[in-house]
Amino acid sequence: MSSESSADEWIPSERDIDENGIDRAQIRAMLALSPADRLKRIEEFVQSLLEIRQLNERRTIR
Contact set with other proteins (CB under 8 A): 18, 20-24, 26-31, 33-36, 38-47, 49-50
User: Shortest Cβ distance from residue 8 to other proteins (Å)?
Assistant: 20
CB of 33 to other proteins, least distance (A): 8
| Between 4 and 43, CB nearer to other proteins | 43
Residue 45 CA to residue 53 CA, distance in Å, equals 13
Collect contacts of 49-52 with beta carbons under 8 A, ≥24 apart.
none
| Cβ-based nearer residue to other proteins, 8 or 52 | 52
Nearest CA to 25 out of 11, 38, 37 is that of 11
